[in-house]
Chain A
Amino acid sequence: MSNLEFHTNDKISQAHKDLRQTFLKGTTLPLEFRRHQLLQVARLAQEKQEAILSALEADLGRHPVEAYLPEIGPIVASALGAVQCLDDWARPENPHISEQWRSNWNTTIHKAPKGVVVIISPWNYPWIITFGPLIGAIAAGCTVLIKPSEHSPACAKLMQDLVSEYLDPRAFRVVQGAVDETAHILSLKWDHIFFTGSTRVGRIVAEAAGKNLTPVTLELGGQCPVFVDGKNTNLSLAAKRILWGKQQNAGQVCVAPNHVFVEKEFEGKLVSAFGEAAKSFWPDGALDAKSNLARIVNKGHFKHLQSLLARTKGLIKGGKTEGLRMEPTFVHNLNVPTDDVLMTSEIFGPILPIISVNSVDEAIENIRSGPTPLVLYVFTEDQEVKNKFIQQTQSGQLIFQETFGQLAVPEIPFGGQGDSGYGAYLGKYSFDTFTHLRGSIDVPLIPEVDAAMALKYPPYNPGSEAFAKYNANLPIPDKSQS
């Protein structure tokens, strides 16, 4: 593990001050500046892909496909997408005004950058989770402090080097630190805080932000449930798509399918289907040296996962380990309501509990009684079942017949609800996160305007009262119509 050099609180405060100065100067306002910085982000990812690959390998044992597909590729694509859309996103809006008497007020919504923002990112997908929001912040015209996770130190160090090489240091900085440094960052005044991490730390961030009335985006834990409708879906396809999502980064990602509900009569078939899918992914076994499976991030987390397996009351299919790697492991013979140790919190590892239920309603009831998930995955082709989940459950996202693929669609926002957080990003939603919609009117000087509004000025006469009462006497549709 490389030794990451932390910044002192003074250096962090200085960076914050510098970033505010730059913002006040207006450096980040011109669209040409933002466009160039965005293209530099694209170049950073494209030109330094080898270095990024090595850092991911060093920190997480990440396979090249899993470095490019979810991280490096999307950074280039997002940055280029933002450049293309920037004019549209940043353009002031002039909403249509149907009421004549105020249609010449130049009603405008300006897209104002919020100001100086901080992005605190986690260790598991350090590049996309830092650069995704960063792209939005740059596009919005903000200055940004980045605090990458100390638990992926090679990536954090490389990020610092690359950002200072490719981006304008007056506007974009990286600082390193752990808990103390993060606490210091949170004590400063920001115009937005973008945090991705655990629910527990999310509360700490929200509390600190509250002291300065700072708006926050919290992308928190998942504990994402899956429901497999055995009657109405292809079990082997479902197993394949679920396992593909689960084994990404060995399950260490907020959108990983956490646990699966299936009706009793299909449990056996589903467990077999998972076995088949695993064999097709890893003909030589998941722990084979050539396999794509990532490592568990560190000993502590690894031991925790082993302890879960030791204490679960379910039947284990798998569980083999090698170094810091654990093969995708299925635990079944669990029923609801379950107080099994595997269900006490987000697993964040390659263990997949399969829980049998009597009906889809029982699964829904169980999902509702737990914390609101980041993503709810449902495998069914039955419209009625789909509608049940749409109407009766809550979640950040609701995904049918797939896991993970939704992240490839920047036209739909990615964010949580309840314990999984609030706020969202991807595509235009990243830009919106760091933008303040500044409403504006410009009331003309012409005498006609004042004459039209003369009745509003005191002293009030019967005409004034009639003018004031106008709205009060608007016709309300008959009860029979509503």
Chain B
Amino acid sequence: EQIRDTLRATFKSGVTRPLAWRKHQLYQLARMAQNEAEAFCEAIGKDLSKPRTEVLMAEVGAVIDRTIKSAQQVDEWAKTEYPEVPDWQKGWKPTLLKAPKGTVLIISPWNYPMILTFQPLIGAIAAGCCAVLKPSEAVPHFSQLIAELVPKYLDPSAYHVVNGAVAEATKLLELQWDHIFYTGNGKVARIISAAAAKHLTPLTLELGGKSPVIVDSAYDMELAAKRILWGKCNNSGQICIAPDYILVPWNKQEELVQGFEKAYKTFFPNGALDASHYGSIVNDMHFNRLSSLLDRTKGEKVTQAMQGRRDASRKRIEPTLVKGVADGDSLLEEELFGPVLPIVPIDNLDEAIAFINARPHPLVLYAFTEDPIAKQRIIDETQSGGIVFNDTFQQLAVDELPFAGVGESGHGYQVMKYTFETFTQLRSSIDMPKEAEPFLQMRYPPHGPEAVQALTGGVYQSIPPSSPTGK
């Protein structure tokens, strides 16, 4: 509580308001990521056995890139806006002030700890908020590292790292925050929602789910397989936007399987089990969970390269392909969050859409098709946080798109300007001049007949004709 109150006092003092101050903090964050890149690679490597290249690209590099770009754009984002209004209201000076929400809480997960902690923080800093970071206890080296580095690089009176497990998290949630940004799973999201409700705290929930992949029979199966497998292998499938399961027409299943085998052999000429550029499962609990799901599947394991060897001692599972998976299978029960790729053969697009709609809204829907009619049908007839055609994972490189879920995959946006807006109160304002008084005079009682006429006249605006069929 003391930490929160210190941050609140800092916020109240107004020190986070000047843009120059915010930009400096952002550049400091970039410097921290750049100067300490090795330390981050080491810590995350210890916690997750994540390959160095992946850490540099998806975590360190992404943080630096977005921090610098945000510092360059914060003037634009924070600018007070004056919306266009009809002439008679122009003198009222309608204004949109970009007010920082205040003191916020950012809770991040273990799988991409650096980008998922600092990306929301970038928006909070840019918006002029103070923030508490609560990283995951499942990545102890990373959490310890940022507890040391953040006070060195950023202003400790405005940004603070709190480490701990359930007890500390619970304590944090009992307090009032001006916004809570949570990335994780639906179960904990509900706990956080309940705590936030008590204080009427607005929330961003970045959750997960089973992100389906629709593969159209006309698409190049080899290319689809390559692009899907690449997305699946990142962090061994332990990411909210990993392609979770595939829907492909029956008559193309074998071809797709062959495409996967071919791609796998080029990615991992000696198999993934001992490959230094392939990650491990985060802990024993998840390793056992995935093993159990695989043991229970009624789908057909492939006999070639992607049969999925496992090593419990090192918590490693190779990318595993399972074909002929049907509704009700163990692999369709929950978000896999691992390197298992079930293929669910279907008859046609109708069936694929129905299959997806029978399940909770995914965070992202992937579709491999070049048919514009199929694309439009998928857009119109399904719901998902985002929709990606003809690749996987690449949407993360896009700064200009809002990233969010719907339904069970969450709500609230992030990335660049959208993160800034998440932590900003759009505070509207007008300034009524004295000179407007003669114009406003007739609104005051008592209302004579002319006043009544003038004030009630608005209802008689002419309404254009229309019909239900639009004709």
Contacts and interface: CB of A to CB of B under 8 A. Distances in A.
Nearest to B463: A42
A335 B160 CA distance: 39
Nearest to B465: A39
B194 A210 contact: yes
A479 B35 CA distance: 14
A188 B401 CA distance: 31
Interface string B235-272: 00000000000000000000000000000001111000
Nearest to A429: B426
Interface residues of A, number: 127
Contact of B387 (A105, A414, A438): A438
Interface in A388-412: 390-392, 394-402, 405-406, 408-409, 411-412
Interface stretch (A10-18, A107-115, A251-259): A107-115
A459 B158 CA distance: 42
A386 B80 CA distance: 15
Nearest to B85: A411
A408 B404 contact: no
Contact of A46 (B31, B434, B463): B463
Interface in B390-407: 390-391, 394-395, 397-398, 400-404, 406-407
Contacts of B17: 391
B392 to A, nearest CB: 9
B345 interface: no
6 contacts: A63-B447, A74-B458, A109-B402, A206-B197, A409-B430, A471-B61
A183 interface: no
A73 to B, nearest CB: 3
Given A109-B402, A398-B427, A438-B386, A68 B455 contact: yes
B401 A241 contact: no
Max count, chain A CB within 10 A of own CB: residue among B233, B390, B451? B390
Contact of B267 (A29, A390, A457, A469): A457
Given A417-B427, A469-B56, 9 more contacts: A65-B456, A213-B186, A413-B426, A417-B425, A439-B404, A443-B390, A445-B220, A467-B57, A476-B27
A456 interface: yes
A140 B341 CA distance: 36
A213 B411 contact: yes
B390 to A, nearest CB: 5
A402 B430 contact: yes
Given A401-B431, A465-B56, A439 B395 contact: yes
Contact of B62 (A280, A282, A471): A471
A471 B63 CA distance: 9
B108 interface: no
A398 B434 contact: no
B398 A412 contact: no
A76 B458 CA distance: 8
A439 B196 contact: no
A237 interface: yes
Contacts of B94: 406, 409, 411-412
B198 A203 contact: yes
A460 B397 contact: no
Contact of A406 (B51, B102, B410, B428): B428
B470 interface: yes
Interface stretch (B116-124, B199-207, B300-308): B199-207
A210 B196 contact: yes
Interface in A264-305: 280-283, 290-292
B175 interface: no
Nearest to B54: A468
Interface in B432-471: 432-434, 437, 440, 443-447, 451-452, 455-461, 463-464, 466-470
A459 B277 contact: yes
Interface string B22-35: 01100100110110
Interface of A: 24, 26, 29-30, 32-33, 35-36, 39-40, 42-43, 45-46, 49, 63-65, 68-69, 72-74, 76-77, 80, 83, 95-97, 102, 105-107, 109-110, 112, 114-115, 168, 191, 199, 202-203, 206-207, 209-211, 213, 215, 218, 220, 234, 237, 240-241, 244, 247, 280-283, 290-292, 368, 381, 386, 390-392, 394-402, 405-406, 408-409, 411-415, 417-419, 421-424, 436-445, 450, 456-460, 464-465, 467-474, 476-477, 479, 482
Contacts of A49: 459
Contact of B400 (A46, A65, A97, A442): A97
Contacts of A280: 444
A183 to B, nearest CB: 15
A35 B102 contact: no
Query: What size tier do the contact residues of chain B reach?
Result: 35 or more
Nearest to B452: A65
A418 B64 contact: no
B470 A401 contact: no
Contact of B53 (A414, A441, A464, A474): A464
A291 B445 CA distance: 8
Interchain residue pairs A-B with the least CB separation, the first 9: A210-B193, A471-B61, A32-B470, A439-B401, A73-B458, A402-B432, A412-B428, A206-B197, A468-B57
A370 B467 CA distance: 51
Contacts of B375: 442
B51 A460 contact: yes
B468 A439 contact: no
B386 A24 contact: no
Contacts of A406: 94, 428-430
B470 A439 contact: no
Interface stretch (B130-138, B163-171, B320-328, B376-384): B376-384
A300 B200 CA distance: 27
B432 A207 contact: no
A290 B408 CA distance: 55
A115 B401 CA distance: 21
Contact of A474 (B54, B64, B410, B469): B64
B355 interface: no
Contacts of A436: 383, 385, 404, 406
B461 A76 contact: yes
A24 B357 contact: yes
A379 to B, nearest CB: 10
A474 B14 contact: no
A290 B447 CA distance: 10
Contacts of B447: 63, 65, 292
A418 B425 CA distance: 10
B190 interface: yes
A438 B432 CA distance: 38
A36 B470 contact: yes
Contacts of B95: 412
Contacts of B413: 437
Contacts of A207: 193-194, 197-198
A409 B459 contact: no
A419 B193 contact: no
A253 to B, nearest CB: 15
Contact of A471 (B57, B402, B425, B446): B57
Nearest to B389: A442
B433 A211 contact: no
Interface in B63-101: 64-65, 68, 71, 83-85, 89, 92, 94-97, 99, 101
